[in-house]
Amino acid sequence: MKITRISIYQVDLPMKEGSYSWSTQSFSAFDSTVIAIETDEGITGYGETCPLGPSYLAAYAEGARAGIAKIAPDLIGEDPTELDCINDCLDLLLKGHPYVKSAIDMACWDILGKSVGKPVYSLLGGKRQDQVKLFKVISRTDPDVMAARVGEYRELGFSQFQMKVGEDPTTDIERFKKVAAAMQPGEVMDADANTGWRQHDAIRVVDAVRSLASEHDIRLYIEQPCLTYEECLVVRQHTDLPMILDECMESLGVLLRGYNDRAMDLINLKINRMGGLTRARQVRDLCISLGIVMTIEDSWGGEIATSAIAHLAQSTPAGFHFQSSAFHDYHTVAIATGGPVVTGGFMHAPDAPGLGVEPVMDVLGEPLFVT
């Protein structure tokens, strides 16, 4: 099988709640990139990358499209089902920029699954759990509004909540207290600062909220309190609250360093930060070998990226899977049919071959680039 054409599409993903806010950032919509890879055997695969704005990671939407357009011509004639060879080729054509490569790798997995008539989760190890546990993001806003949303989301079937903090520490402490008071025993609060606190502020916050877990009988986690690995490690050594590392977990090397330093209890594994499903699977499998539990998601995306999340998560043993995101459930538009089915606080990966999704071309519009 050979790649014959690659097309690039741009689509905006508006938020149902009007905005999505974390740390010091807020967006009403996200700029996502969808690609279609066509082959000489009539099979087309689809991938998506959505960097979550220009300053969340060292990535941005226009850069993703420019990078894909730069390397796409050199992929013509390659076999998309030879995934390691494709990734070797991507690394030769472009140094770094994993968020550019992610959509290409994802589309190649879609092609491979379609070519053998199997869903991607079967190719990633099989269906190792029946459903994918979800969390619901409580977007950063007024503390009372955030507390009220706990009950709203619980009625939808959620029991795990990712509370966005990382702004003003004093206000964040108030957010912790009010959201914790609205939670029920056994529920999960993952307080995600998205790198927003300075080290001394993070220490102040974890000291102030330490007792909330026992007071309300909830499971309280602190996620990526500071920008750098070193700052997060200091906070980790200061508190006995479980620590999740996210933004600084960008490679196998950092994962091994964190394991050796005992820097975290869990990691957030994001597909496009690793460069696609191929590299994310490597990290996933190493985490299982090391005994590290994972949140499995992506930076953002619609039905295509969410389907990739669901396939990777559903092929992960339940004991090593903490939670995932159903990003397509946050948007006012659907960019594809056949995406993961969300039932309460869980989602199910599509059983159709490949990723199991079919883009809605009326939504994607005309391609911005075609090889």
For the annotated catalytic residues, the residue numbers are 164, 270
- Give residues with Cβ within 8 angstroms of 302, minimum separation 6: 11, 13, 32, 34, 48, 50, 327, 328, 331, 333, 334, 335, 336, 339
The two three-digit tokens of residue 61, written as one number: 């939407």
Q: Are 297 and 306 in contact (CB under 8 A)?
A: no
Contact 75/141 with Cβ under 8 angstroms?
no
Q: What is the per-residue burial (b if ≥16 Cβ within 10 Å, else e) of 290-305?
A: eebbbbbbbbbbbbbb
Tell whether the torsion through CA atoms of 57, 221, 233 and 284 is positive or negative.
negative
- Give how far Cα 285 sits from Cα of 264, 269, 280, 315, 316, Å: 17, 11, 9, 10, 9
Closest by CA position to 323, among listed 305, 349, 340, 345:
345
| Location of structure tokens 């307080």 | 191
Give 315's DSSP letter.
T
Cβ-proximal residues to 29 (8 Å cutoff; 6+ apart), any chain: 12, 13, 14, 15
